[in-house]
Amino acid sequence: MHITNLISQYFGKFAKNEFPKVIQKFINACYVKFMGLNMSEFKHSRYYKSLNDLFTRELIIKREIDETVDSIISPTDSLITECGELKEDIALQIKGMQYSVEELLTYYCTSNFEKIKNGSFMNFYLSPKDYHRYHAPCDFKLLKLIHVPGKLYPVNLKYLNKELELFVQNERVILECENNGKIFYMVFVGALNVGQMVFEFENRVETNKDTKEIKVYTYDNIEISKGDCLGYFKMGSTVVMLWEKDSVQIENLLNQNIRFGQKIGNIKI
């Protein structure tokens, strides 16, 4: 097991531990203050029983989302670190740092490689202060989930600028989705201290375990609506979205902080 996975496992044990109330309230308050969390849409920090509970907090004030039929909304609260068009199958993890989409998606997505070439992509970086749940960017049919074990390098800007093919090296969960007959992918990338990625529709996924086996789950009848909660990171990380060529028109949001529910593009109908 790589050292980054071991560090994440130990941090995960600390984060899920429920300390005596007085101590936990102090830990939570310190985390909120140190990281600069905006808790206006959530319960007060004193009500969370562990750091994990705080990290994975649910909204108590319903977030407004763009309900336009052909709109695509942001699945997360995050910073857009890169976006644009693929060059054949090459995407950017950050300016000047490339990686192969085929390597990211693995050979289990081979049948769609030609469709994705010269398509569109967008990278969403969730910092430790962000809301950590991820949602459906549009109505879609879920076709496949692929869990790829790997390392857990940090995915902050410093590491994106120095670690080659970071997204390809790290553990990830890939969702293969279909909207109006067009394919798109959501890739959830693990990171240091993100010991687990949880998916509410698939309890068989167990991340940051001592395994090298890729696991694939296929589905016939899972329909998901725009805005539905898909799951959550246990701390911050990154989501990569990839769309089939000529299927969407994404907005140029490079280096902008965006919120779940905000429009990021349109589906070409």
Helices (H), 85-151: 101-105, 113-116
Residue position matching structure tokens 């979205």 = 241
Q: What is the pLDDT of residue 231?
A: 95
More reliable by pLDDT, 236 or 28: 28
The residue among 155 and 214 whose pLDDT is bigger is 214
pLDDT in tens, 105-124: 998 999 999 999 999 999 99
Token pair of 99, please? 């990686």
Residues 156 and 149: their CA atoms lie apart, in Å, by 20
Are 155 and 238 in contact, with CB atoms under 8 Å apart?
yes
Half-sphere exposure (CA, 13 Å, Cβ side) for 75? 30
Q: Round to whole Å and give the CA distance between 64 and 126.
A: 20
Query: Do 85 and 251 meet the contact criterion of CB atoms below 8 Å apart?
Result: no
Closest to 90 in 3D by CA, of 2, 184, 167: 167
The tally of CA atoms less than 13 A away on the side-chain side of residue 254 is 10
Q: Are 93 and 161 in contact (CB under 8 A)?
A: no
> d(Cα 108, Cα 218) in Å, to the nearest integer?
11
Two structure tokens written together for 121:
């992509």
2-15: b (≥16 Cβ within 10 Å) or e:
eebbeebbebbeeb
| Alpha-carbon distance values, 197 to 74, 165, 236, 254 (Å) | 18, 20, 10, 25
* Type and span of the H or E element at 51: helix 51-55
Q: Residue 4: is its pLDDT beyond 60?
A: no
Position 193 pLDDT exceeds 70:
no
Contact 91, 98 (CB under 8 A): yes
- What is the percent of the chain with per-residue pLDDT over 70, rounded to a whole number? 85
Give catalytic residue positions.
77, 135, 237
pLDDT tens for 24-77 read: 999 999 999 988 999 999 999 999 999 889 989 999 999 999 999 899 999 999
- Greater model confidence, 93 or 149: 149
Place of tokens 């969403």: 124
Alpha-helical runs (H) found in 56-169: 101-105, 113-116, 157-162, 166-169
For range 189-217, the mean pLDDT? 81
Query: Taking every pair of C-alpha atoms in the chain, what is the biggest distance, in angstroms?
Result: 56
* Domain segments of the chain as ranges: 3-56, 71-267
What sign does the CA torsion over 130, 133, 139, 142 have? positive
Q: How far apart are CA 251 and CA 121, in angstroms?
A: 11
Q: Closest Cα partner for 78 from 267, 261, 266, 265?
A: 261
- Distance (Å, whole) CA 111 – CA 83: 24
